[in-house]
């Protein structure tokens, strides 16, 4: 009964507290915004108290050729002067709303000005409104230097779910998608990364709720880099799915460009994470391609090793029937369309093209087909700007062998050409590795 009564009281408290954030003047924002803009050049323009409260919610607003008040530090200073002239503590809610929305703004001078003003008002507050008391008590979290980091760290130390960040801060749950909470979430992850196996599903839900591409790039990049270690290999499928949902396919570079104001570390992490994600996908395709299209364990093992030691990207060429077969594999289905190119021919041979360093490397599903290596910037490289009639267009029988050998000796090599998968005194893997390492400069 006590627990039931406590729950009831908490619900009442939340409902009463929510009233502090209610604002019914959204339709007045354009009107007050225009009036403010006109007042800049007009003497003796007066604002009613209701209009001033609306003004606090108008600082972010912009329309047509009129920029937001917040983006102009002089206009913001004038707006704060107006509020000061007829100050009411209720104005703080709208100002803090603006403050947290613009936490990572490209107008730092305006943010600094707003921070100083609200901080001063919170220091002077002596009323009994629970919302404003909460703001005052949590003032350390509103410090632009590290307030968000302190909150994320505090939540982790208290062993509370990150979803309670708004409750601890004393703001509505609907504010969770504000820019302020980006580094709160990332800091929470950093403090709990040793528990990533149990936190991964929760963090995915948090990203969906926060709904920010910036935070997704920040957090998922860190998680991908962590999950690239052997002890976290079981998480890779889950992380890969989250990355595709929240950021997009790494084959589309624009999905993975760094956001404005990203630090150098964040830029490097985004690039590294995209490369790792590409490698994970390549490994899955290699595994599936050689198991489904050609059951060749040696070739699969060889290419998985090469993919693990180099930055790779790839494409697959084949007929529609092959694509349908590959689509039945749940682990690669969502990545297939961007990487599989159909040919007109119904010939049951597919080609796997890997791009490593300055080379286009081509393996075929038919055991009778040689391996080909073309320089990406060379004149011999096949033209892939149009749909191929057949994967045979990727072959050139007039090209020399990449390696000429006799017994255990390598007699001659070429920078472009072909190699068969035939064993001699040296296995074909040894011959391939010799050319990769010594001629192509590819890690083996």
Round to whole Å and give the CA distance between 439 and 179. Answer: 50
* Tens-digit pLDDT profile for residues 232-267: 989 999 999 899 989 999 988 899 999 988 999 999
Listed by start position, the domains of the chain span 21-137, 296-440
Q: What is the mean pLDDT of residues 94-100?
A: 95
Q: What is the mean pLDDT of residues 62-78?
A: 94
Contact 352, 340 (CB under 8 A): no
Least confident interval from 10-14, 277-281, 376-380, 440-444:
10-14
Q: What is the mean pLDDT of residues 345-358?
A: 92
Instruction: Give the Å distances, CA to CA, from 107 to 60, 66, 103, 156.
Output: 12, 16, 10, 30
* Tens-digit pLDDT profile for residues 3-51: 878 777 776 665 555 555 656 556 689 999 999 999 998 877 889 999 9
pLDDT score for 17 = 56
pLDDT score for 4 = 78
pLDDT > 70 fraction of the chain, expressed in percent and rounded:
96
Contact 221, 189 (CB under 8 A): no
Check whether 228 has a pLDDT greater than 80: yes
pLDDT score for 296 = 84
* Tens-digit pLDDT profile for residues 163-192: 999 999 989 899 999 999 999 999 999 999
pLDDT score for 251 = 86
Query: Collapsing DSSP states into helix, strand and coil, what is residue 437?
Result: helix
Q: What is the mean pLDDT of residues 136-146?
A: 94
Question: H or E segment at 218?
Answer: helix 213-227
Round to whole Å and give the CA distance between 405 and 391. Answer: 28
Check whether 442 has a pLDDT greater than 90: yes
Query: Collapsing DSSP states into helix, strand and coil, what is residue 60?
Result: coil
Round to whole Å and give the CA distance between 152 and 76. Answer: 30
For the whole model, what pTM was predicted? 0.83
Round to whole Å and give the CA distance between 280 and 330. Answer: 15
Contact 154, 162 (CB under 8 A): no
pLDDT score for 311 = 85
* Tens-digit pLDDT profile for residues 151-163: 999 999 999 999 9
Helix, strand, coil percentages (3-state) for the chain, rounded to 5, are: 55, 10, 35
């Amino acid at each position: 009964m006590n627990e039931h009564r406590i729950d009831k009281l908490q619900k009442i408290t939340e409902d009463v507290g929510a009233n502090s954030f209610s604002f019914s003047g959204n339709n007045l924002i354009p009107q007050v915004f225009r009036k403010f803009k006109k007042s800049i050049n007009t003497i003796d323009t007066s604002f009613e108290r209701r209009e001033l409260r609306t003004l606090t919610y108008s600082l972010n607003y912009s329309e047509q050729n009129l920029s937001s008040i917040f983006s102009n530090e002089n206009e913001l200073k004038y707006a704060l002067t107006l509020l000061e002239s007829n100050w009411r503590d209720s104005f703080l809610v709208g100002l803090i709303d603006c403050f947290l929305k613009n936490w990572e703004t490209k107008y730092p001078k305006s943010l600094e000005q707003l921070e100083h003003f609200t901080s001063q008002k919170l220091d002077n507050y002596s009323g009994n409104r629970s919302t404003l008391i909460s703001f005052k008590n949590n003032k350390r979290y509103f410090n632009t230097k590290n307030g968000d980091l302190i909150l994320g760290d505090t939540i982790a130390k208290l062993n509370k779910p990150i979803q309670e960040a708004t409750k601890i801060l004393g703001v509505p749950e609907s504010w969770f998608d504000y820019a302020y909470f980006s580094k709160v979430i990332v800091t929470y992850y950093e403090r709990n990364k040793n528990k990533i196996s149990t936190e991964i599903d929760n963090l995915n839900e948090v990203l969906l709720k926060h709904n920010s591409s910036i935070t997704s790039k920040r957090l998922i990049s860190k998680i991908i880099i962590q999950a690239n270690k052997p002890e976290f290999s079981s998480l890779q499928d889950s992380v890969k799915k989250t990355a595709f949902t929240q950021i997009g396919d790494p084959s589309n570079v624009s999905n993975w460009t760094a956001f404005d104001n990203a630090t150098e570390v964040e830029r490097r992490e985004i690039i590294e994470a995209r490369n790792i994600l590409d490698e994970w996908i390549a490994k899955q395709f290699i595994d599936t391609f050689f198991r489904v299209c050609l059951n060749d364990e040696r070739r699969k093992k060889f290419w998985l090793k090469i993919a693990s030691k180099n930055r790779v990207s790839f494409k697959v060429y084949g007929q529609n029937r092959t694509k349908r077969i590959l689509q039945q594999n749940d682990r690669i289905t969502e990545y297939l369309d961007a990487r599989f190119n159909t040919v007109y021919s119904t010939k049951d041979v597919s080609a796997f093209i890997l791009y490593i360093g300055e080379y286009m490397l081509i393996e075929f599903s038919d055991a009778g087909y040689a391996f080909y290596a073309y320089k990406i910037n060379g004149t011999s490289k096949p033209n892939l700007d149009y749909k191929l009639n057949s994967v045979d267009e990727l072959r050139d029988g007039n090209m020399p062998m990449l390696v000429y050998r006799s017994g255990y000796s390598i007699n001659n090599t070429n920078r472009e050409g072909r190699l068969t998968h035939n064993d001699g005194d040296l296995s074909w893997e040894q011959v391939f590795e010799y050319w990769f390492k010594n001629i192509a400069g590819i890690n083996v």
